[in-house]
Structure 1
Amino acid sequence: MKDFEQPKPPRWADRFLEWYCNPKLLEQIQGDVHELFFWRLEERGVKSAKRAFIWDIIRLFRWKNIKRKSSQTTQFNNIAMFKNYFKIGWRNILRQKMPSFINITGLSCAIGCCLVAFMFIEPRVIRDQFHENGKNIYLVAHEAFIEGNLGKYGVFDSSLAKELPDKFPQIKRRTRMKGTQNIFRIKDNIFRSYVNYVDPDFLNSFSFPMVYGSKDALKDPSKIVIDRSAAIRFFGDEYPIDKLVKVIYDEEEINFSVGGVIEDAPNNSSIRPGFLISYEVLENRGQTAQANAVTFIELEKGTNVLELERSFQSMVSVQNGLKPDAQYESIFLVPLESMAKSNLNGVPGGSPPMAPIILLISIAGFMLLLAISNYVNIAILMATRRVKEIGIRKTIGSKRTQIIVQFLTENLILCALSVFLGIVLARGLFMPWFNEMSGGTISLNLFSNRNLWLFLGLLLLVVTFLSGFYPAVYISKYKPSVIFSGKEKLGKKWGFSGALITFQLVLSIITIVGGIMFVRTNNMQKRIEWGFDKEDKILVNIPSSEVYPELLNKMMSIPGVEEAVATNAALGEAYGNTEFYLGDKKNRASFLSCSAKYPQFMGLELHEGRFFDPELISDSQSSVMVNYKFAEHYGIRIDDLIQIDSVFHKVVGVLNDFTYQGLSDKIEPIIIKAKPDSELNYLTLKVSAGTEMEMEDKIKQAWVDVVQNKPYIGFLQSRIFDSGSEDSRGLKNTMLFTSTLATILAAMGIFGLASLSIASKMKDIGIKKALGANLIQLTKSVYLKFGIMLSIAVVIGSTLAVFIIGIFLDEVYAYHDPVNFIPLFFAAAILTIVVFLTVTTQIGKVKKMNPAETLRMD
């Protein structure tokens, strides 16, 4: 008969006890519960004993019985370990002062450049995220066919927008916004400024904090809300609420009182609410301009946006039925926080220009790569002086990972110092210089920009890892037996370090060539002939045809004003363009309306044909002149006909090309048409030679004596391109700074690698010197290696510079010299001198070295 096995406690419960129980208590506890199980087995039976056993195991799951690591000990050990790492790291930084200084200096300069780039780019790329309700605010946009092309538009029909909250309960608030230019009178100041007409809920939806007044101020159409800058500009220290602001509509002057003052819009705002007036003012005036407006809606939390967007499609047929000439294809919603990137027509703010962003990213990236490459080389140099320390630590049981963590921790200290100094450099030196150069207003506010802290943290981690990981892995791989036997060959094979130095030299070549080319282009722009006589001419605006005769007489009565001719725009300002037909083909070109005397008055040169004749009525009705670029591009000859606005115009003259847009723009085809002076916008006054500055104030006063309720707009023709010249000088200075800093960083890297090479060969050099070798024999290999790296860098860097700098110049300047042999030669020469001098400073150690001292130490 088969023997039955005695029942045992549930295995899973027993294992659970073994898993959680403190090993010091397990034997006693497990013995007690097993003894209880077998007692219950005899008294109560199998099922009852097993149930009781399970309950005992669960009941004993208490804090005092649970096994656990000694967290306090572990935590203490971790803290002590990292404290020790930091202490050793700090001592090594202090011990190796020169390499540490070079590393910190290079990284802090690069980090300073990165911060300038970040503070310039961040508000242009990450926009409109500061509004408290921003995640619930959407722009109402639409698709429509315009001239046969389907486009997306960031405006919406004003009358439909007005009804949105009534039709859709998901909409918490709605605000329309219409921006226009208006003439203002505040005290004695008459000026033209941009004003936004908005619905009263605008200040409740958007987070523009109130300085004075109430957010509900715009519920009263007689109130105006201004920003802090305007309040300070016009009212100074006076309390601005209820101050009078006059807005001039045509000849009508309407009084508004200041109902509120808001903070200036931050740089990352697409909406710039300098002056805010109730939208009701536009509606009461019946202006047709209100037909389309930028429309924002703030939704209730939890609203299904896609479902609401589908519901909006019911308004398409309503819109198309009311306005057959403005047919919508669809209506859609754009989140406020992505509005700036949407590329919609008519959207506030719009996409930022990419050229300066790419340039600054390139410069910051170049500097960071140079600094990290330089850092890696010098970090290896610093680490190789600690091989015996590594050998001892490995002998007593340290693992390779611990040594890597040790070096990365030390690296973190040095990088953190670099970040701190980078912040100081950026705030105290780089940003003020950049603002002065670019006319910007960027600033470093560490306490109100979360994105800046994220950027600094990410930058610290990236720089710490990229600059420290390779040196840590490199030095930790050596075995104690190799180190103590003296067979380690640190620094004798340059390999990776040599590649890094070559890479640095390549970047230096590119930046030096860039600096030279931007200097050359800037100087070339100064020598460019504008193609017209720009000196001794002052432009003033003509407010209306009615006031033109009196204004002309007043100006001509001023002593020193020799002649006056009218034009629709100043040469050098932005131009309009017009459609024209050559045969049946439609084209577009720049267009300038001016007095018949204007081309000769401005000294434009005739290529062929004739100038306008002021005595011929036909010249003011059906004649045009064109520039040579136009004639060449379209194959135009004298007496050919061009159709403009259904009227055929005869080409009576072709002018030599002249700069009419800007020094950085290519000369494009332009049509010049004569018109009566009274129909034009500007009066160009020729004054006595050399009297522009003193005559400007006299002309302004005479203008004010004649014109009422209109702002004066006047400027010197000779200064029309000043802003472009300032931009060009700023780019030149930026590139010079970049090339200089790149050269310094490359010199630091060469210094470190030369030191490493010479330090690793001191024993060999000592023996050779003791045997009578001269300095050239001792150092020839060092010069040779750097010469090879420099030669490779010159070849690669010159090739890349021709391509990269050529692209940059093409993006920025319409006309520039090609990147030819001259800048490449000078860049190579500059870098050769820097490399030679840097290496020579290290060779001095060999010259001063006493062989006896070196050999005795070894």
Structure 2
Amino acid sequence: MLKNYLKIAWRNLWRNKAFSAINIIGLALGLACSLLILLWMQDERSMDSFHLHKDRLYAVYEREYAEGTTGATYATPGLLGEELKKVIPEVQYGLSYAFDAGIFRTGGKVLREEGMYAGNDLFHMFSFPLLQGSADKALSAPGNIAISNKMATALFGSPAAAMGKTVSYNNRQHFLVTAVFADVPNHSSLKFDYLLNWDTFLATRPHARLWSGQGPRTAIMLRKDAHPARVSARLLKFLDNYYRSQGPGLRKELGMQRFDEQYLHGNFENGQVSGGRIEYVRLFSIIAVFILLIACINFMNLTTARAAKRAREIGVRKVAGAMRLSLVQQFISEAMLLVLVATGIALLLVQSSLPLFNDITGKRMELPFSQPGFWLQLTLLGLLTGCMAGSYPAFFLSSFQPVKVLKGVLQSGKETARFRKGLVVFQFVLSILLVISVITVSRQVNYIQTKQLGYDRENLLYVPLEGHLSQQYAFFKQEALKQPGIKMVTQMGGAPTGVHSYQDSVSWEGRSPDYRPTFAIAAVGRDFIETVGAHLVKGRDFSPAFSTDTLNFLVNEAAAAKLGFKDPIGQALTLEDGHRGIIIGIVQGFHTSSLHDPIEPVIFKFDESSGGNALIRTSAGKTTQALAALQQLCRQLNPAFPFRYQFADDAYQRMYKSEQVISRLGYWFAALAIVISCMGLLGLALFSAEQRTKEVGIRKVLGASVTQLLVLLSREFLLLLLLAFAIAVPLGWYAMHKWLEGYAYHTGIAWWIFLLAGALSLLVALGTVSVQAVRAALVNPVRSLRAE
């Protein structure tokens, strides 16, 4: 029976080559898009899923109640990991960690690698296999270092040869290699090629020992018999015994989240985990469904539209005794055969487009042909597509009454025509929605890239103050200003988009004990304002003419508002470490974080000994010349370290990598959605022209022009597209309005976005329909009237 079904299906496909090709290509494009999105979604969801104890691993975050608002962050006190393990019995292992980067030397070889400071429990908690050494001793002493297989091979030739050897770190310290671990897999959110003992971190960063400080991250692993809900309840009041500033004006709590969930659910709202990259996963899952639906709708429309062509076949088979179920099976088989061919083409399309897709998304995905699970998913996707595409045509065609069919009085009825038109409207609503979304996302990305941040990113670059550069910063600045193409030089503990030090115990005269706002603290050097291109609203910058400026502060407008002074200039502030000085200037709105958040209140303190980065302003058009001069200068002053730099604009763009990926992918998928929709329209236009061949011939004989015939054949499709546009506009506005609410600063939803989306879809669709309409209108009327 199945053999007969397939044989009949193949004959029908071969007999109607044009319509079969349209259906196959449409389904292949839809399946290819769905497969690409499925691969991406699985890659995103697999992050951190390889850890053996993933169901017991938790990230700890800190929730803060202050000024009537609630916020949360993964930044925690540096002592928290060890203390949680000591105090809460259900916590088997506790870990504090912080990211790092360093230059390593041994035997004339030099490497710059990304790494972490971490506690000794790391290898007990996470599944990073050790090739050499033991988990108990890997990070047991401050002088120990664990390195990756890649790093061990590069420096010593092999993991075994690396054991017991010494490496120089940043030309300041020497560490003994006590373990070598397998290279960290791509699906790990923790990326590192070396690990240093946590006590080494605490020894050089006193603020990390303060319970009021924030910065490092904390992870814990519960015992097998522990109840996560009970541990979470104990964490709520854990800080009460350590953080002395708990009170009406400020309160801090701890919360915990499954470690393998923080990659996708890494945002907070009102102190609770809320959204993150998962929003993009959900968005693209919807896009995949949309595109597959559009392809299936094409199949339904073309199959039901051509019902009359197969009416006599159905009538004869019913008279011969065929049951309706067997007819349904026949038509479903035809749909499945189409889907099978389309799936093969889709796999070829995915394989050929994966390099470009990986380049856009920054992934290393490949089709997992060797995994049975992939073939199971592909089979289920094919079956779902075949059933979705073929079910309605199967039940529709099998419902024909043989008596009417054989008499040649088949009428599909208005209901069928309405349903078909409804499907066309629905698929173009989806297409126009995608175009509106893509244009809006693109505008927001452009808004982010061009928005004034309170400083000028153009011709501004960062040079890390490593090694001797940190110790000889004053001389470096003096010599750099003599080089061609360099206008200004200053210093900053981090970067304009990377202020990571916060204090909630800043005090000033008149501050209420119940009022405890949190300020970002940025360490900067002289000429900071002029170098970064910021603007002073009032007061002055740090100046060598005032010896007391080494104790003074600048504040941005947000910080000035928090302080509550009518005139902040000259008012005294005292930081958590006892640093006391007066405010000498107010800086205009200054963004130090993502545009998802409002401008943070920032206090700029003078400190040219904290390392960080040299911020260098170059003359327009002379950046290349300035870089060459800087490289030469750094080689002279800091020969042990390779010259490194990054442009401020590049550092800023990396903050919005996800939005840029979404924007680029959106263009491709929206374009494919329109192409697939238009392929369906092309098929319907081809069928419509075929059905009205004699009418067209008669009208031409009676004097109708090509233009009049073009309008006649296109008018119905135009009305359907206008209806789709009217439905898509309010839906698109609402969806994009909700998305933009996630940004504290965002572009507006301009009226022309909807007009452009509608016009673009309309022009492409009408262009597709018009090609076939013109062909039909230009046919010799004699041939049209002779057509059967």
| Alignment partners' CA distance in 2, 1:224 and 1:600 | 42
| Alignment partners' CA distance in 1, 2:136 and 2:528 | 50
| Alignment partners' CA distance in 1, 2:637 and 2:28 | 59
The answer to whether the Cα contact below 8 Å between 2:674 and 2:761 also exists between their aligned partners in 1 is yes
Match of 1:499 among 422, 443, 455: 422
Q: 1:628 to 1:645 in 2, by over 3 A?
A: closer
Q: 1:263 to 1:589 in 2, by over 3 A?
A: closer
1:720-739 CA distance string (max 9 Å, x none): 43435766654443333233
> In the alignment, does 2:14 pair up with 1:91?
no
Match of 2:160 among 213, 226, 241: 241
> In the alignment, does 2:412 pair up with 1:487?
no
> In the alignment, does 2:739 pair up with 1:801?
no
User: Quick one: which amino acid aligns to residue 254 of structure 1?
Assistant: F
Unaligned stretches of 5+ residues in structure 2: 212-216, 247-251
User: Quick one: which amino acid aligns to residue 690 of structure 1?
Assistant: G
| Alignment partners' CA distance in 1, 2:558 and 2:355 | 44
> In the alignment, does 2:45 pair up with 1:125?
yes
Q: 1:366 to 1:448 in 2, by over 3 A?
A: same
Specify the SS of the correspondent of 1:422.
Answer: helix
Specify the SS of the correspondent of 1:684.
Answer: strand
C-alpha displacement of 1:643:
4.6
Residue 253 of structure 1 corresponds to which residue in structure 2? 174
Residue 434 of structure 2 corresponds to which residue in structure 1? 511
> In the alignment, does 2:489 pair up with 1:564?
yes
Q: 1:240 to 1:524 in 2, by over 3 A?
A: same
Unaligned stretches of 5+ residues in structure 1: 1-80
The answer to whether the Cα contact below 8 Å between 1:223 and 1:256 also exists between their aligned partners in 2 is yes
User: Quick one: which amino acid aligns to residue 377 of structure 2?
Assistant: F
Residue 461 of structure 1 corresponds to which residue in structure 2? 383
Residue 262 of structure 1 corresponds to which residue in structure 2? 182
| Alignment partners' CA distance in 2, 1:558 and 1:112 | 55
Match of 1:470 among 384, 392, 396: 392
User: Quick one: which amino acid aligns to residue 246 of structure 1?
Assistant: V
1:436-492 CA distance string (max 9 Å, x none): 234333333232473x44432332222112111111111111011111111112487
Residue 407 of structure 1 corresponds to which residue in structure 2? 331
Q: 1:567 to 1:119 in 2, by over 3 A?
A: same
The answer to whether the Cα contact below 8 Å between 1:620 and 1:676 also exists between their aligned partners in 2 is yes
| Alignment partners' CA distance in 2, 1:768 and 1:731 | 50
Q: 1:446 to 1:234 in 2, by over 3 A?
A: farther
> In the alignment, does 2:64 pair up with 1:139?
no
TM-score w.r.t. the length of structure 1 is 0.72
Specify the SS of the correspondent of 1:356.
Answer: helix
Q: 1:548 to 1:777 in 2, by over 3 A?
A: closer
User: Quick one: which amino acid aligns to residue 541 of structure 1?
Assistant: P
> In the alignment, does 2:18 pair up with 1:82?
no
Residue 114 of structure 2 corresponds to which residue in structure 1? 193
Counterparts of residues 546-625 of structure 1 (less than 5 Å):
546-549=471-474, 551-552=476-477, 555=480, 561=486, 563-574=488-499, 576-579=501-504, 583-584=511-512, 585-625=515-555
| Alignment partners' CA distance in 2, 1:723 and 1:341 | 18
| Alignment partners' CA distance in 1, 2:122 and 2:548 | 56
Q: How many residues align?
A: 748
| Alignment partners' CA distance in 2, 1:632 and 1:282 | 32
User: Quick one: which amino acid aligns to residue 624 of structure 1?
Assistant: L
| Alignment partners' CA distance in 2, 1:724 and 1:285 | 28
C-alpha displacement of 1:622:
4.4
Counterparts of residues 383-402 of structure 1 (less than 5 Å):
383-402=307-326
C-alpha displacement of 1:85:
1.4
Match of 1:179 among 94, 97, 106: 97
| Alignment partners' CA distance in 2, 1:423 and 1:109 | 10
Q: 1:691 to 1:811 in 2, by over 3 A?
A: same
C-alpha displacement of 1:408:
1.1
| Alignment partners' CA distance in 1, 2:682 and 2:50 | 47
Cα RMSD for the two superposed structures: 5.0
User: Quick one: which amino acid aligns to residue 139 of structure 1?
Assistant: L
Counterparts of residues 608-757 of structure 1 (less than 5 Å):
608-627=538-557, 637=567, 639=569, 641=571, 643-645=573-575, 651-661=583-593, 664-665=595-596, 668-679=599-610, 681-687=612-618, 690-696=621-627, 698-700=629-631, 702-703=633-634, 705-707=636-638, 714-723=645-654, 730-757=661-688
1:114-145 CA distance string (max 9 Å, x none): 223222222333454445x558x623789999
Match of 2:763 among 826, 830, 833: 833
Q: 1:423 to 1:563 in 2, by over 3 A?
A: same
Q: 1:644 to 1:743 in 2, by over 3 A?
A: farther
Which range moved further: 522-531 or 742-751?
522-531
| Alignment partners' CA distance in 1, 2:547 and 2:58 | 51
| Alignment partners' CA distance in 2, 1:411 and 1:838 | 25
Query: Which of 1 and 2 has greater Rg?
Result: 1
Specify the SS of the correspondent of 1:440.
Answer: coil
Specify the SS of the correspondent of 2:185.
Answer: coil
| Alignment partners' CA distance in 1, 2:221 and 2:274 | 16
The answer to whether the Cα contact below 8 Å between 1:184 and 1:191 also exists between their aligned partners in 2 is yes
Counterparts of residues 146-185 of structure 1 (less than 5 Å):
158=82, 161=85, 177-181=95-99, 183=102, 185=104
The answer to whether the Cα contact below 8 Å between 1:506 and 1:797 also exists between their aligned partners in 2 is yes
> In the alignment, does 2:340 pair up with 1:416?
yes
Residue 249 of structure 2 corresponds to which residue in structure 1? none
Specify the SS of the correspondent of 1:587.
Answer: coil
The answer to whether the Cα contact below 8 Å between 2:430 and 2:728 also exists between their aligned partners in 1 is yes
1:88-115 CA distance string (max 9 Å, x none): 2233223322222222222222222222
User: Quick one: which amino acid aligns to residue 404 of structure 2?
Assistant: V
Which range moved further: 146-155 or 593-602?
146-155
> In the alignment, does 2:281 pair up with 1:360?
no
Q: 1:834 to 1:632 in 2, by over 3 A?
A: farther
Q: 1:196 to 1:97 in 2, by over 3 A?
A: farther
> In the alignment, does 2:709 pair up with 1:787?
no
1:169-223 CA distance string (max 9 Å, x none): xx9xx766553445452434354632365658947x865567x557779579698
| Alignment partners' CA distance in 1, 2:340 and 2:393 | 18
The answer to whether the Cα contact below 8 Å between 2:709 and 2:777 also exists between their aligned partners in 1 is no
Q: 1:271 to 1:618 in 2, by over 3 A?
A: closer
| Alignment partners' CA distance in 2, 1:159 and 1:628 | 35
| Alignment partners' CA distance in 2, 1:163 and 1:97 | 74
| Alignment partners' CA distance in 2, 1:766 and 1:227 | 77
User: Quick one: which amino acid aligns to residue 179 of structure 1?
Assistant: Y
C-alpha displacement of 1:835:
3.0
C-alpha displacement of 1:385:
2.5
Residue 370 of structure 1 corresponds to which residue in structure 2? 294
C-alpha displacement of 1:320:
11
User: Quick one: which amino acid aligns to residue 551 of structure 2?
Assistant: Q
| Alignment partners' CA distance in 2, 1:290 and 1:722 | 33
Q: 1:833 to 1:813 in 2, by over 3 A?
A: farther
C-alpha displacement of 1:499:
0.7
User: Quick one: which amino acid aligns to residue 57 of structure 2?
Assistant: L
| Alignment partners' CA distance in 2, 1:124 and 1:421 | 25
The answer to whether the Cα contact below 8 Å between 1:124 and 1:352 also exists between their aligned partners in 2 is no
| Alignment partners' CA distance in 2, 1:415 and 1:843 | 29
C-alpha displacement of 1:854:
6.5
C-alpha displacement of 1:553:
5.3
C-alpha displacement of 1:832:
2.8
User: Quick one: which amino acid aligns to residue 444 of structure 1?
Assistant: L
The answer to whether the Cα contact below 8 Å between 2:24 and 2:341 also exists between their aligned partners in 1 is yes
Match of 2:746 among 804, 810, 815: 815
Match of 1:432 among 355, 365, 372: 355
| Alignment partners' CA distance in 2, 1:99 and 1:202 | 60
